[in-house]
Amino acid sequence: MSDSRKGWKDSNWYVSITGFWREYRKHRIGLIGIFVMAIFFGMAIFAPVLATHDPTPLVKVAPEYLAPAWLSVFDPDGVVTGEYLTDPLINEEPFMAINGTSDEFSYLHQPIDDLNNQSYVNLTWTHTPGTQLDFVGQDPDEIMPDYNDFVYFDQIVTWPWNSRPSDVNMSISYATKLTGDFANTSIYGNLMFRIYLWIIDSGGQWTRLFESRDLNYVDVVKEKPVSLNYFSISDIFDGMILLNGTSQEDPSDDITIRIGIAPTYRFESFHGETPWQDFNGSVNVMFTQLKMVAYGEYFGLLGTTNWGADAWSQLIYGSRISIIIGVLATALSTGIGVIVGMSAGYFGGKIDEVLMRVVDFLLVIPGLPLMMVLAAFLGANIQNIIIVIAILGWTGTSRLIRSQVLAEKNKAYVESARAIGASDTYIMFRHILPNVTPILFANITLGVVGAILSEAGLSFLGLTNPEDPSWGRMLADARTGGAFSTGAWWVVLFPGLMITMLSLSFTFVGHTLDQVLNPRLRER
């Protein structure tokens, strides 16, 4: 072993740390506390990765009070809410084709555009004067286009459930670029074509969900929402439901989402002037995203809240709020308590009397009502909640430090420091503080528990920012949102369990620190 390595291993700090850990690991409850605490700190650090949706309590992602998805194993007919398109960004190669015989239509798939880092599908109609297309007339069922010539691309969806969804919402994001006469003739050009969205079940039945009729085609990507009605959902999904557990009306569980652009005959009947066959130009529609969200009885890892927000994401981000407020409020209150306690114990006399009377006054005032008043007065944000908790959390620390300082200030090492001319501040923080610190560590960990419970109480009472994901806020929303009457136990059980487990982890660590660092307990 080299001399340098041997040197730092013989240093006081290394010997103290290894000796402390040797004693600490003898206590199994302390190791459990560190393990659980590490899990919660990991949740807080990696919350953006672990969360699946926006954690804001008021952001709705699904219907309210949907059960956790893992409960669907007990309900074979239950539908889990989710996005059922494997690639909404159309990064994978879709099936693309031209219907009819015209050579005026084309398509292009770009997996990733290096310029703006997005994938897309281009459907293009390039028309030259005099070209005749296969006109079939207006469809009385309003399913197919007016012309048999059009271009489209398909996305396949596999439906894994034995029942239909309660609701389906879709959206397509696209931009349109017109050239030639299509662009120069604002009315005629926009009436020349339509964008279509169909769903085709595995039996080949077409259901048209969307036909563009607006005239605001622009070269900017916009999202168009499409909501399926009850009859469309029945037509599409009922054929794929197992009948008596043995057979199906459709041969498979796959459905096809088809998006296309096609000419429309409505221009000629609408205006009666120059027929569109004389136009020269192109229509290019760039599709960048296709979504299909089916809603059922289940959602996500922990279901939804009374606002329809994702309970799992709130639970993950709630660890950040509890740990940040717990640690910072305790650090602030500990700093105040140490300064007040050391000043009162070291100087004594009138300073001690005044400071201790302030402590007694704060101790006799009910803590929760005072915190409520201060939180309402200062405002509902994390910084103010930390200040409110710290204002009322330093009194116990100051009494504890004062009692220890009273026992230390008359010892020989303090008298020796005075004799060589050391200042009071130097003696307090250089000599006395290190000797009272061991008992302070255990008090700090237990103070974090009090801060966590205080924050949860203030959140439960609605005195914190409603946009902050907090465990106490989740319990408050469950109470006011009727979770108990609707049986939504997951929005009550898991936040309460998180508060309990995090508090217990700090309690276990604090209890073990007290046994390791307190000489009287270590001698037992």
Residue 15 lies in a domain: no
Considering the domain architecture, whether residues 358 and 463 belong to the same structural domain is answered as: yes
Domain final residue, candidates 299, 326, 358 = 299
Q: What sign does the dihedral 410-412-414-417 (CA atoms) show? A: positive
**Structure tokens that stand for 197 in this block:** 């969205």
Show which of 234, 265, 299 is a domain's final residue: 299
Sign of CA dihedral 228, 231, 236, 241: positive
The answer to whether the beta carbons of residues 305 and 214 sit under 8 Å apart is no
Query: Within 13 Å and on the Cβ side, how many CA atoms surround 42?
Result: 7
pLDDT at 253: 77
Residues 239 and 319 in one domain: no
Do 370 and 438 sit in the same domain of this protein? yes
Summarised one tens digit per residue, pLDDT across range 218-240 is 888 888 998 888 888 888 887 66
Look up the CATH number of the domain holding residue 319.
1.10.3720.10
Burial 214-225 (b: 16+ CB within 10 A, else e): eeebeeebeeee
Residues 136 and 217 in one domain: yes
Indicate whether 188 pLDDT > 60.
no
Q: Decide if 8 is inside a domain.
A: no
The residues, any chain, with a CB within 8 Å of residue 330's CB and separated by 6 or more, are 390, 393, 444, 447, 448, 450, 451
Query: Domain range spanning residue 237?
Result: 69-299
Q: What's the token pair of residue 148?
A: 């048999």
- In this prediction, residue 243 carries a pLDDT of 54
Label residue 12 by pLDDT band (50, 70, 90).
Answer: low
Residue 459 domain-assigned? yes
Residue 36 is assigned to a structural domain of this protein:
no
Which range, of 318-322, 359-363, 455-459, 516-520, averages the lowest pLDDT? 516-520
The packing angle between helices 395-408 and 349-364, to 10°, is 150
Q: Is 90 exceeded by the pLDDT of residue 55?
A: yes
Q: For the chain, what percent of residues have pLDDT higher than 90? A: 36
Has residue 1 been placed in a domain? Answer: no
Q: Which of 270, 299, 328 is the last residue of a domain?
A: 299
Same domain, 368 and 267: no
In a domain, 232, yes or no: yes
Domain identity same for 277 and 319: no
Residues linked to residue 158 through DSSP beta bridges, in sequence order: 254
Residue type, 117: N
Residue 327: what residue type? Answer: V
Identify the pLDDT of residue 149. 92
Number of separate domains in the chain: 2
Which residues, in sequence order, are CB contacts of 390 under 8 Å at separation 6+? 329, 330, 332, 333, 336
User: Is 372 contained in some domain?
Assistant: yes
Domain co-membership, 291 together with 337: no
Q: Does 396 lie in the same domain as 259? A: no
DSSP 3-state of 227:
strand
Which alpha helices (H) appear in 134-219, and where do they start and end? 181-184, 186-190
> Measured between alpha carbons, how far is 510 from 521 in angstroms, rounded to an integer?
13
Q: pLDDT band at 481, cuts 50/70/90?
A: confident
Whether the Cβ atoms of residue 455 and residue 449 lie closer than 8 Å to each other:
no
Rounded Cα distance, 415 and 32, in Å: 43
Give the closest residue to 119 by CA, choosing from 173, 170, 194, 178. Answer: 173
Task: Look up residue 78 and give its two tokens.
Answer: 């239950």
If asked whether residues 261 and 322 sit together in one domain, one would say no
User: What distance in Å separates the CA atoms of residue 274 and residue 265, rounded to the nearest whole number?
Assistant: 13
Q: What is the pLDDT of residues 497-512, one digit of tens each?
A: 999 999 999 999 988 8
H-state helical runs in 348-394 = 349-364, 367-378, 382-391
* Strands of 128-235, DSSP E: 150-158, 167-180, 193-200, 206-211, 222-227
Return mean pLDDT, the chain: 84
The CATH code of the domain that includes 167 is 2.60.120.260
The pLDDT assigned to 520 comes to 57
Same domain, 333 and 474: yes
Distances (CA, A) of 415 to 346, 421, 429, 435: 12, 10, 15, 15
Q: Does one domain contain both 226 and 318?
A: no
Answer yes or no: do 87 and 153 share one domain.
yes
What would the pLDDT profile of 450-465 be if each residue is shown by its tens digit?
899 988 988 888 888 8
Q: How many CB atoms lie within 10 A of CB 206?
A: 14
Residue length of the chain:
524
Residue 149 counted as domain residue: yes
| Centroid of chain to Cα 63 | 17
- Mean pLDDT check: name the lowest of 260-274, 305-319, 344-358: 260-274
Averaged pLDDT for residues 481-507? 92
